[in-house]
Structure 1
Amino acid sequence: MKKRVLAAVMGSLFLAPVAKADMLLGIYAGAQGWNTSTTGGFSESSTGSATFNFDDETNTSFYVAFEHFVPLVPNVKVNYTSLDSKGNTDLQASFDFDGNTYEENTTLLTETNIDTTDFILYYEIFDNDLVSFDIGVNGKYIDGTLYVEDADSGESGETAFKGIIPMAYSRVQVGLPFTGLSAYAEGSYLSFDDHKVSDFQVALTYSFVENLAIDMTLQVGYRDITVDIEDLDDVYADLGYDGVFAGLEIHF
């Protein structure tokens, strides 16, 4: 009897630091591969935008989040996403870009290389195995380059832009107890003056490793990003990115 009690006490002593560490600080890290369809166009003026054809691309997203127990201090999440695309378009009207004019019927090669980094501060309103709900603010930093080239003459133009866009943020997750299955919806949104930017994703998840040291979760879902900006570093763009993704999240 005494041996069993001693073993239970010793086990509790070994497990307590692990459990306490998770309560004090939780770290989430994840990566996603995203099959992206791109629509829309861009220009350097409010009246000269053209709509381009883009090929589907595989983009990536990486994130890390830090959650803690300190009251009133927000949790932190940083999310990096690439929004790269290429395509070619037969112009239906003349198009001015970077000091060049591309005439109607020109075959124009286009390329967007855009990186976004979300700096999210959020609070957990609910947090349990059935329902979790987060709300906060997101400063989305956009750093991009837009490139066009005449397929015949080789004449080309390029412009770069960057800026921080403040957005509202929220996340809801619903779990199915004892199955490892859950679903979540996460999004950021802004509609201000002539800017309209949104970033939404929904996914099903399956936790296939779950113990005191580490949790590992698979994700399969759909993501939609809209970048409708007016005069951000002299760039006007109305671009949409959407498609399915698969990912892996690790919780320490």
Structure 2
Amino acid sequence: MYKKYLTGAVLGASLLVPVQADTLLGLYVGAQAWHSDVSGGFANGSTVTDFDFDKETNSNLYVALEHPVPLLPNIKIRRQNLNISGATTLDQDFTFAGQTYVQTRSLASDGYLDSTDYVVYYEVFDNDLLSLDLGLNAKDFDGQISVRDVDDTSITSAQSFRGIVPLLYSRVQIGTPVGGLGFTAEGSFLAIDDSSLYDYQAAVTYQWLDNLAVDLTFQLGYRVLQLELDDVDDLYTDMEFKGPFAGVEVHF
């Protein structure tokens, strides 16, 4: 399956031609808190079982390095923590991690779907009015999901998984005549066969500090993560996380 993802990503990379590089070396460090609704489900086969998931507040941290070296891409690394907790009443038998739960049983699930994004990108445009980045993102998943019978807690199962999915990456930032106010949108995406992954966000930004030593920008926006994975370590998912976020970014 990963060969298919890599083929699509390489084709996308062939379209990326750096037009303009940064004129100064820049280090960006940011953090966000994301309050998300979670819907969908998971399984060990292509027919997933939906769960009624709780709302979650999760965090992510990122760091990006931009430089003036031509042809050498900029780098961004982001660590995202995603916790899940939900329940369902089965309308059919459900097998997960080798344990079969029969129809009408009530199940609870919890776990995490953490990921690390390794992004390389070029600045296609870079000025005060418009900034456009294009690149590739290798999203490294590292998670675990557990299921238990609500009425008989001795009946449990758990599965860990890990996989790297390469994605296309883009980011656009737009300035406004209002001092410090701007807009930004960022996304990673790929769809091949029965698998698709979309991770995108849009935000209003306000630059509170802007001087030679440090810039400080606040973010308020909305993010959506659609996670439809087909056989990643024998895990199939059809899940969506969406909701508002707030963040802060420091530029040295």
Q: TM-score, normalised by structure 1?
A: 0.89
Report matched runs for 1:33-112 at 5 Å: 33-47=33-47, 49-112=48-111
Q: Which residue of 2 aligns with 1:31?
A: 31
1:194 is aligned to 194
1:101 to partner: Cα distance: 1.6
Structure 2's unaligned 5+ residue stretches are 1-21
1:195: Cα distance to partner?
1.8
2: CA distance between counterparts of 1:95 and 1:232? Answer: 19
Identical aligned residues as a percent = 47
State the one-letter code of the partner of 1:177: P
Structure 1 match to 2:239: 239
Other structure's SS at 2:152 match = coil
Query: 1:112 offset after TM fit, Å?
Result: 3.0
- Mapped partners of 1:26, 1:83: distance in 2: 29
SS of 1:70's equivalent in the other structure is coil
Kept after mapping to 2: 8 A contact 1:126/1:134: yes
User: Are 1:129 and 1:177, in contact at CA under 8 Å, matched by a contact in 2?
Assistant: no
Rounded to whole Å, the distance in 2 between the matches of 1:51 and 1:41 is: 4
Query: Match for 2:220: what amino acid?
Result: V
Cα RMSD after superposing both structures: 1.2
Amino acid at match of 1:183: F
Which structure 2 residues correspond to residues 1-252 of structure 1 after superposition, within 5 A? 23-47=23-47, 49-154=48-153, 155-177=155-177, 179-252=179-252
1:9 is matched with none
C-alpha distance in 2, partners of 1:99/1:202? 40
Structure 1's consecutive aligned runs of 4 or more residues displaced over 4 angstroms after TM superposition are none
Relative to total residues, which structure has the larger helix share, 1 or 2?
1
Which amino acid in 1 is paired with 2:61?
A: F
Residues 181-207 of structure 1 deviation map (CA, whole Å, 9 limit, x = unaligned): 000110010112322111000000001
Give deviations 1:23-80, integer Å, cap 9, x for gaps: 4410000000000111111111123x21111000110011000000000000000011
SS at match of 1:179: coil
Shift of 1:178: 5.0
TM-score normalised by structure 2 residue count: 0.89
State how many pairs are aligned: 230
The whole-number CA distance in structure 2 between the counterparts of 1:24 and 1:124 is 12
CA distance in 1, matches of 2:188, 2:115: 13
1:210-244 CA-partner distances (Å, limit 9, x unpaired): 11100000000000011111111111111111110
**Which structure: larger Rg?**
1
**Cα distance in 1, alignment partners of residues 226 and 162 from structure 2:** 16
Structure 1 unaligned runs (5+)? 1-21
